[in-house]
């Protein structure tokens, strides 16, 4: 009986440490590799990059909500086009948009201000008659592609128009071709003339090209992308642009991890010294806690930020707290003369309400922060929430299970579990 329990205990401990190893160092099935730790998404403060806050130039504009949503959609398209798939676009308050773009060595654009220029460009494209009337707008085009012109060898942007756009364009070109003078079309981007073409005949068929002497491969590609993503539905101004250097992020991450590990080591030692064998079981449960938190972060692709790391570390404190509450209770019960097993039972039972109530109240805080917080506060709330739920599990299930097993194996080694009761000067409580 005892041997079986001992084997079970060993098995559980080995399982916990094995899964820790898998989460941290990963596992490979032939060519396929899976390392949960690496799958954790790092926030901007860890990767480095640029964070930009845009604000509506005129917050009183009609349909602000729809327009902001539209602009966010366009931002996402543009960022995806440039390969910044990890970038996040979030709305802040009513009239602000926060864009966070991680930049690393492989990014197409390295200069933060270039990114700001690219995504924040209104990209309002207009085809104008000489008298200034608008023939076509960017929204009348369905596609745009950069290409090299066969005739001139220069970069151009070819485009396809919508049905209505094509008709309007055909009508306008027919009119212009017959005009006596001023037979040209001006193409403007954000009010600046990028191209002017003389019309010699009606252009039907719904397609055309934009030529400009300024086009290079890069600018032609960019214009095509901007046309395709559409013009921003409202004027935005840059409220703040903040670059976070990756070196700082790297260093910060390593230092936080080091700090966490040192703290953890001291804490584990503290638990063993103060609580002896139960303390050791709590330490094993703590390893289980950290493994589970890392795994959940990787599984749900939650962005890990610096405050997020702090949230996890605070969660360690909370996980230990639950154990401390339990052990204090068990010790009390034991000193009243109960057997080890029944004091464990009574201790866990009495501690449970306190642990559940106290953790639910903290969970409420994490929950509200997750909803109302912005940016890194949200990251903090998520990790805190996960930490609380996981720590409840490790304290109430893992520690408890390990202790019961241990009590079954070695029910008599009192000093292994509890220190001698101190008797204070005549107080008999």
Residues that bind other proteins (CB under 8 A): 45, 53, 92-93, 96, 111-113, 239-245, 247-248, 251-252, 255-256, 258-260, 262-264, 266-267, 270-271, 274, 306-307, 310-311, 313-314, 316-318, 320-321, 324-325, 328, 332, 350, 353-354, 357-362, 364-366, 368-369, 371-374, 376-377, 380, 384, 429
User: CB-wise, 230 or 379, nearer to other proteins?
Assistant: 379
User: Minimum Å distance from CB 332 to other proteins?
Assistant: 8
User: Minimum Å distance from CB 403 to other proteins?
Assistant: 17
CA distance 367 to 163: 50
Report CA-CA distances (Å) from 424 to 27, 396, 427, 429. 55, 32, 6, 9
User: Minimum Å distance from CB 241 to other proteins?
Assistant: 7
SS3 state at 91: strand
Q: What is the dihedral of CA 315, 316, 320, 321, to 10 degrees?
A: -30
Contact (Cβ atoms closer than 8 angstroms) between residue 299 and residue 36: yes
User: Minimum Å distance from CB 375 to other proteins?
Assistant: 8
User: CB-wise, 54 or 127, nearer to other proteins?
Assistant: 54
User: Minimum Å distance from CB 4 to other proteins?
Assistant: 33
Order of strands, sheet of 88-92, starting from the edge strand that comes earlier in the sequence: 88-92, 96-102, 49-56, 236-244
User: Minimum Å distance from CB 370 to other proteins?
Assistant: 9
User: CB-wise, 137 or 251, nearer to other proteins?
Assistant: 251
> DSSP secondary structure string, 184-233?
EEEEEETTEEEEEEE--S---SSEEEEE-TT--HHHHHHHHHHHHH---S
User: Minimum Å distance from CB 369 to other proteins?
Assistant: 6
User: CB-wise, 34 or 372, nearer to other proteins?
Assistant: 372
Closest among 270, 359, 273 to 314, alpha carbons compared: 359
SS3 state at 105: coil
User: Minimum Å distance from CB 366 to other proteins?
Assistant: 7
Distance in angstroms between the alpha carbons of the first and the last residue of the chain: 38
User: CB-wise, 131 or 357, nearer to other proteins?
Assistant: 357
Tokens standing for 395? Answer: 């304290």
CA distance 211 to 231: 20
Query: How, if at all, do strands 141-148 and 155-161 pair?
Result: antiparallel
Contacts of 243 (CB under 8 A, 6+ apart): 49, 50, 51, 112
User: CB-wise, 271 or 398, nearer to other proteins?
Assistant: 271
User: CB-wise, 270 or 300, nearer to other proteins?
Assistant: 270
CA distance 40 to 188: 44
User: CB-wise, 213 or 247, nearer to other proteins?
Assistant: 247
Place of tokens 């638990």: 271
Determine how many CB atoms are found less than 10 A away from the CB of residue 371: 8
User: Minimum Å distance from CB 270 to other proteins?
Assistant: 6
User: CB-wise, 3 or 428, nearer to other proteins?
Assistant: 428
């Amino acid at each position: 009986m005892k041997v079986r329990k001992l084997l079970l205990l060993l098995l559980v401990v080995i399982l916990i440490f094995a899964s820790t190893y898998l989460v941290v160092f990963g596992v490979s099935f032939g060519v396929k590799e899976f390392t949960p730790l690496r799958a954790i998404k790092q926030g901007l403060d860890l990767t480095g990059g640029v964070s930009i806050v845009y604000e509506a130039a005129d917050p009183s504009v009609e349909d602000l909500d729809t327009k902001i949503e539209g602009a966010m959609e366009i931002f996402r398209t543009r960022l995806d086009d440039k390969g910044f798939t990890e970038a996040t676009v979030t709305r802040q308050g009513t009239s602000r948009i926060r864009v966070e773009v991680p930049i690393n060595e492989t990014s197409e654009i390295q200069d933060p201000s270039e990114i700001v220029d690219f995504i924040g460009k209104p990209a309002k494209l207009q085809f104008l008659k000489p008298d200034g009337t608008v023939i076509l707008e960017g929204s009348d085009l369905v596609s745009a592609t950069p290409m090299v012109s066969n005739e001139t060898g220069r970069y151009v942007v070819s485009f396809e128009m919508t049905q209505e756009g094509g008709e309007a364009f055909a009508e306008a070109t027919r009119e212009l071709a017959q005009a006596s003078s001023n037979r040209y079309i001006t193409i403007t981007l954000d009010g600046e003339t990028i191209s002017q073409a003389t019309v010699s005949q009606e252009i039907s068929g719904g397609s055309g090209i934009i030529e400009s002497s300024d086009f290079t491969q890069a600018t032609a590609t960019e214009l095509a992308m901007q046309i395709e993503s559409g013009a921003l539905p409202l004027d935005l101004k840059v409220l703040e642009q903040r670059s976070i250097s990756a070196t700082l992020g790297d260093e910060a991450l390593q230092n936080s991890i080091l700090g966490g590990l040192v703290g953890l080591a001291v804490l584990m030692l503290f638990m063993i010294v103060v609580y002896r064998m139960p303390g050791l079981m709590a330490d094993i449960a703590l390893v289980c806690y950290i493994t589970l938190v890392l795994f959940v972060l990787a599984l749900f692709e939650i962005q890990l930020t610096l405050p997020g790391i702090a949230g996890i570390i605070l969660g360690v404190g909370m996980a230990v707290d639950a154990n401390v509450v339990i052990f204090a209770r068990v010790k009390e019960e034991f000193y009243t003369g109960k057997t080890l097993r029944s004091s464990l039972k009574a201790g866990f039972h009495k501690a449970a309400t306190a642990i559940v109530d106290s953790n639910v109240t903290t969970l409420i805080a994490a929950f509200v922060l997750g909803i109302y917080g912005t940016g890194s506060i949200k990251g903090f709330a998520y990790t805190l929430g996960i930490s609380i739920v996981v720590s409840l599990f490790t304290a109430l299930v893992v520690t408890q299970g390990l202790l019961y097993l241990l009590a079954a194996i070695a029910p008599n080694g009192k000093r292994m579990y509890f220190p001698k009761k101190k008797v204070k000067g005549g107080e008999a409580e």
